[in-house]
Structure 1
C-alpha cells in the first residue's frame, strides 16, 4: 500500500502564518531579519540559507567597500533531492560618507548571520559600483539575486528599503506582508528549488520528503505518528545572537496505514533541513 503525502495547508483563514515557510507557526516571519545595534551602530543580518554549511559559504566585498555579497551552496544531500541549491544575496551601504570596515560571519543550521561595521571616510566623488556608475537600484537588486520580476510574473520581492543609520543608510531586501494564502519562492535561490517543501513518490510505493526548517539544530527535530496514521514533523529553532526570537515549525506531511511500524521511517536532519524516507506498508 503506497504512502500518501499531505502538501502544505494554511494554518488559518488568513492563510499561512509565514509565507516564507508553510510549516512555520510562530516567531519572526520572512527569509531575512535585520537589526541596528544601538550600542555601536553595527548592522545585524540574518539570512535563511537551508542546507548551506560554513565551508560552502563565500562572502565578497565590492571594491569600494559599500556592498557585501553572500553566496552559499547547498549540495544534493540525498539521491532523491531534485537538485542542489545555490544562494546569493547582498546588503550594504548607499551613502558616500562611510565604508564597511569589518564583517563577522556565523553559519549554522541553515542560517547565515552577519554583523557589519562601518567607518567614516572622506570621499567627495559620486558613489560607483565596482568602478562603474551605480545602476538603477531595483535593477541591480534583481541581477544580484538572480531574480527578475518581469520574467517571474511580477513577483513583488524585488524591492529595497533604507534604514537610516546616523550618517548613512543600510541597503537590504524587504518584501510583502508575510501572512497570506500562497507561499513565496525563496528570493535568494539562484539555482535549484525555491520551495521549502519537496515530495517524491518512490517506485516501490514509498515517499520521500524534504522540508526546510532553517535555524533548527539537528537534535531539535521531531517526527511523530498520530493515532490516525498522520505523520507530523516539528522543529524548534532557538534564538541565536541578535535574533528577535526563536521560531517553531510544525505540520502534518504524510499518512500511513494504522498498523504501520513507524520505526521503519528514516529521518535525516542536518543544516536546517529534515528529510523523511517512508517505506511502503
Structure 2
C-alpha cells in the first residue's frame, strides 16, 4: 500500500508545466535524460524508457569509446494496447570530448528508468579537468517562452529515443468490447507508489517514486486526471463502470469497463 505523498513540496503555478517532457510531472528532475559528473569523475546517466521490462535493455560502448549506445526490445504488449503504439527505444550518451575514453559501464533498468555509471579515463590533455558529455542539453525540459502579455507554454516534447511506436506520454483507445483503455507514462513509479482517485467526473491519479537512487537529485511526483468523456460510456456515470488499473515498467495502465446491460424484460 502506498504511503502518504507529501504534496507540500509541489509549488502551485497555474497554467504551467513543471517538465515539458511529461505534462503530468509536478516535482523532481526534468528531462528524458539526465547526465552529471560524479565526484570521482565518472558519469551518471539517467534515461526514461517507460514500458521497457527490466531485462529488455541492451547497451554497448561504440568503437571509438566515446559514447554508450543503448537500445531496447519492444515494450510489453498488454490487453487494450494498440500494436502501432508499442515502443522500441534507441539512443546514445557519453563523452563530448576527444581527451577521455569510456572504460566501463554499470547499468540497471527498473520501473522504466535506465541508470548507468560510465567509468572514464583521461588519455590526453591530462592537466585539464574534462566536463564535456553528450547530449549537452539534457535535463532542461520545463522552460517557458515569455511573451509580452502572458506566459506561453512550450508544447510537451516527443520522446527523442523512440524509434518505433508512440512518442507521447499518454494514449487512449476503445476496444471492440466497449472498454476504454488508457496508459500514462510515470517513469520510476511502481504500482505501490500510486494513488488512484476516480470520481463521477474524472479519473485522478497521484504517484511518487519512493525509491530515490544514490545519484538522483530527488524523487519525482506525478499528478493527473482523465476526463470522463475520454474514458467512459456516454450517459453512464464513471463510478458505475468497472475500473481496473495496474502499473508496470513505469507505465500506469487503466481499463474502464461499462456496466453489464440489463436484459430483463419489463
Shift of 1:229: 3.5
Is the 2:53–2:76 Cα contact (8 Å) retained in structure 1?
Answer: no
Q: Does residue 279 in structure 1 map to residue 248 in structure 2?
A: no
Aligned positions of 1:238-257 closer than 5 A:
238=210, 239-255=212-228, 257=236
Measure, in 1, the Cα distance between the counterparts of 2:13 and 2:237: 27
Deviation per CA, 1:178-207: give whole Å up to 9, x if none: 242521100111111001100112334331
TM-score by structure 2 length?
Answer: 0.77
Deviates more, 1:202-211 or 1:244-253: 202-211
Aligned positions of 1:1-281 closer than 5 A:
13-38=14-39, 40-82=40-82, 83-121=85-123, 166-167=129-130, 169-174=132-137, 177-179=141-143, 180-226=153-199, 228-238=200-210, 239-255=212-228, 257-258=236-237, 260-261=239-240, 264-281=242-259
Deviation per CA, 1:151-191: give whole Å up to 9, x if none: xxxxxxxxxxxxxx814622225266524252110011111
Measure, in 2, the Cα distance between the counterparts of 1:117 and 1:89: 19
Q: Which residue of structure 1 aligns with residue 150 of structure 2?
A: none
TM-score by structure 1 length?
Answer: 0.73
Deviation per CA, 1:70-114: give whole Å up to 9, x if none: 112342421422232111111122333321111110110000001
Gaps of 5+ in 2: 1-11, 144-152, 260-266
Question: In 2 relative to 1, CA 237–194 (structure 1 residues): closer, same or farther, beyond 3 Å?
Answer: same
Deviation per CA, 1:239-263: give whole Å up to 9, x if none: 222110100111111325547346x
Deviation per CA, 1:124-149: give whole Å up to 9, x if none: xxxxxxxxxxxxxxxxxxxxxxxxxx
Measure, in 1, the Cα distance between the counterparts of 2:183 and 2:52: 15
How many equivalent residue pairs? 227
Measure, in 2, the Cα distance between the counterparts of 1:52 and 1:166: 36
Deviates more, 1:97-106 or 1:74-83: 74-83
| Secondary structure, aligned partner of 1:260 | helix
Question: In 2 relative to 1, CA 250–259 (structure 1 residues): closer, same or farther, beyond 3 Å?
Answer: closer
Measure, in 2, the Cα distance between the counterparts of 1:240 and 1:222: 22
**Larger RCO of the pair (alpha carbons < 8 Å, separation 6+):** 1
| Secondary structure, aligned partner of 1:265 | strand
